[in-house]
Chains A and B, each alone.
Chain A
């Protein structure tokens, strides 16, 4: 089998599975549907491993699959770029997707939409793979929107629930706001670079670095800054950066497996991947990177705060995801793209693990998500407990778990950055470590420790989830422990990414890290001496104190700081503002334009007004026609008289 057919096999295997399960789900039945879809993703995963070995051996592929459309002298194509960055994402996507497929067999076994669910997640996997394998902006946008569609369909999977269908529509529309920017960015690229092909655009970028564009007459701005910021607006939508983050917490209305796959591990990281892919452009615009840095830092810090007060187990993990996406974005702003991808990878594993662990708990408690009705589960669900503990330790950044390496590297890189906003970002990511550790262990303690708070009936039937659920947890726990230790050296220090990521000399703090590098053990030694590690320990200790020992303090704090709590409880009022200002405003304006514009002005005055005018005039004129002969005779004689007088006067 040639490599090219192998490339094709990676996205097509899940697509075939999705089509089979989607169109012939009834005929295939439950087992048939999950076998074809899971098999498709498994094939895709194995093929990705083979391709990865080939890429690591130095074989990079960039070529066209087919020409989509030609117009003027531009060809828009569907094509693949297979390089180290792509295969990293391919491996993460197919691996997490495979575990989620297996997990779903157990989690959704009694759902009436079983086949449909498998069809959707396989179709999502296809879309995500097309996104990461693209060699041009068109296909990137295709994948971008396709994953958005799948996210929409999966959030609203339980379509009879009002909250779910509301959340799905909200997610789609908020993402569309981001896509608006993204599309305009792509448009500017085509207009100024004359191509949508990555390699061509990247080659031409340095030549256009000094170009400017007039958006407002009289004040030229840097073309590349505008392009990069517009592209980043797209990333803000997909990767849920403030203020376009509002859809992600609500997306938890979807079934838990997709929260793990789409809203933690893969789709939401598409923005991070995209900016890394565009590193040759972002490297040329410090303004854009500053924007990225500040937006990322704000998301990292402020979303972490919201994680503290959630009682819904999935929402804690959701806010944690938002915050961690902010961390990755900060890395992008600091020109530490390899670290962003490194953190993307480790986060994909431990966050998918945390979601699936939460799902296992929810499944065992018959769809109870409120942590106030949990507690003490570690005795009943040991595998779920241990794996969730591993995930939490990784998230908190405790060595030697994966998150420690990626997060510490990230913080160091930000500290080395000198662009505007770097100081704020450094503060945000360091402070965030404490909060992250605190909310992670708050969740762990409330769920698995202390006294059981569920009702008697549930407690009696409590047991560990079946193997199809625990196996994925174990599979994900392995890289959550090891991925950091194994990959920090090649990915961050070494030349793992080769030419797929561009970092200009002098940009960001990765250079310093590379110079001071003393091996992975040296990194750990250095890490445990530094502030972030101690902040993480302090966070865990605080959580233990408040939720294991003095459990009445949180309520007292809540009462003491009522104003602050209200602010956090209302999520900084973003939702309220959007509902009133954007949604409400659009409806008001639309209704006003319809009633005042279309009905009153155009139809009332112009169209029917004309008709009425004609009607009224003819009503007047009609009176002239009285039907009496002597009236007509009089008018005739009068007319003849006038005409004759004119004739005489003229003569």
Chain B
């Protein structure tokens, strides 16, 4: 197809909108202009990603919508963009979730509204850059740059322990990525002076080197996913982050870690991936079982959903390291679906928090009596979180379990315990928060969701159901890329 700039637009348009919001937003205007500029920016930002799906060709595994321009010629660093069946959905998902976050923050954010909106818009562009970058340094720059807005979002608009959480988040993710940078520089010299990720993928590397590079990447991505035992920053970050921050953190940022495994670990170090798969599988299953049990005893709704996110991401890494197309596609489906569901869960908790200023489960009870419409939406998302068929939450888990059972029955059996744990922690929380008689005068005064809140919950509800009932369009775009990836990983490189 002819040259186009949809990827560049999807990166720079939100960033530009963010800058405009920042410049025009001042304490003088009431915030109304700021909101509308932010909304227009977010809508346009999402609109330019839609052609990516419409014009995407399912038949090829090669990169599409490629853009290439020299950036730092001295080191052969290029502004090289492109997407394939793996990255396509995350650009769309990210731009869409940003739109929802803008709507969700409409009247809720009272201090520094312009900066808040700008941070999300700029972050949205940077994250699209992460998914679209084909040059390792470009990837690295986007990867690091997106930490800054998130750091600010937690640190400025966060809860009482926001500084601890923000620094913990920042240090954790930064430490990992420094090792990744070292690996990039090594690969640069091996590849004869190129930072092209595609060239990295075809480099022959001895097993010992592969293991080291694998571990360097692992440190960077396992923190992001996050995988046990590198996960403890996530509950803290979620609890302190404002609703929008939690939504993007859970729905998008975690996916970057998993994406990294697919883009870097599996194709660049396939033999090390095979050699260390037992280790990754063990960590993934610990995530499902251990974290599932920990989620059960949480008293804070956000912490509970944060732990549940870790457990759900365990399925993603489990699927990837089954080394069959089904596992990878199952993992990808789980990532997309988790984007919708975790986003929805955090938005639901946000709706409650805006009214009650508490996330403690014990402060609630009988919400259904005063907020029936909300309760219905929350039920749908809770069921999706518990992996009910017909919702998107089912597909990923189901396909990963089907793929794991081909490798080892017990992998699947342990992973499938999520049927019980996932239902137990989600529905037990739901029961304590929503069902029952009105627990206290605060609950008695609750107002049901307004039109704005109904809008973003309904959009997510439609997506959760649509994907659950007809996931084929999603997998259709993945087959070619995933097939090539599996072929790459099955051929020894040394």
List chain A positions with a Cβ less than 8 A from chain B.
66-72, 74, 141-142, 145-146, 149, 152-153, 156, 159-160, 162, 165, 169, 172-173, 176-177, 179-180, 183-184, 186-188, 190-191, 213, 215, 586-587, 589-591, 593-594, 597-598, 601-603, 606-607
Contact = CB atoms under 8 A, between A and B. Distances in A.
A78 to B, nearest CB: 9
Q: Chain B binding site: helix, strand, loop or mixed by DSSP?
A: helix
A191 B324 contact: no
Q: Chain A binding site: helix, strand, loop or mixed by DSSP?
A: helix
Given A142-B390, A590-B297, 20 more contacts: A69-B399, A69-B475, A145-B390, A160-B366, A160-B436, A165-B435, A169-B431, A172-B423, A172-B427, A180-B417, A180-B420, A183-B416, A184-B405, A586-B296, A586-B424, A593-B290, A594-B297, A598-B294, A602-B232, A603-B232
Interface in B269-313: 290, 293-298
B294 A146 contact: no
Nearest to A22: B376
A71 B322 CA distance: 14
Given A159-B435, A165-B436, A586-B296, A176 B325 contact: no
The 4 closest A-B pairs by CB, nearest first: A590-B293, A187-B405, A590-B297, A165-B435
A142 B475 CA distance: 19
14 contacts: A68-B471, A70-B475, A71-B325, A71-B479, A145-B390, A145-B394, A153-B379, A160-B437, A165-B435, A183-B401, A186-B402, A590-B296, A602-B229, A607-B232
Given A149-B383, A593-B290, A184 B324 contact: no
A165 B431 contact: yes
A609 to B, nearest CB: 12
Contact of B416 (A74, A184, A215): A184
Nearest to A606: B229
A123 to B, nearest CB: 11
Contacts of A603: 232
Contacts of B108: none
B296 A190 contact: no
A587 B420 contact: no
Interface of B: 168, 229, 232, 290, 293-298, 324-326, 329-330, 366, 368-369, 379, 383, 388-390, 394-395, 398-399, 401-402, 404-406, 409-410, 412-413, 416-417, 419-420, 423-424, 427-428, 431, 434-437, 469-472, 475-476, 479
Contact of B297 (A156, A187, A587): A587
B133 to A, nearest CB: 28
Contacts of A66: 470
A597 B389 contact: no
Contacts of B325: 71-72
A177 B325 CA distance: 28
A593 B307 CA distance: 13
A593 B436 contact: no
A190 B402 contact: yes
A213 to B, nearest CB: 7
Nearest to A215: B409
B399 A71 contact: yes
A172 B382 CA distance: 13
A187 B412 contact: yes
A145 B405 contact: no
A187 B401 contact: yes
Contact of A188 (B296, B366, B409, B428): B409
A184 B471 contact: no
B436 A173 contact: no
Contacts of A591: 297
Contacts of B297: 587, 590-591, 594
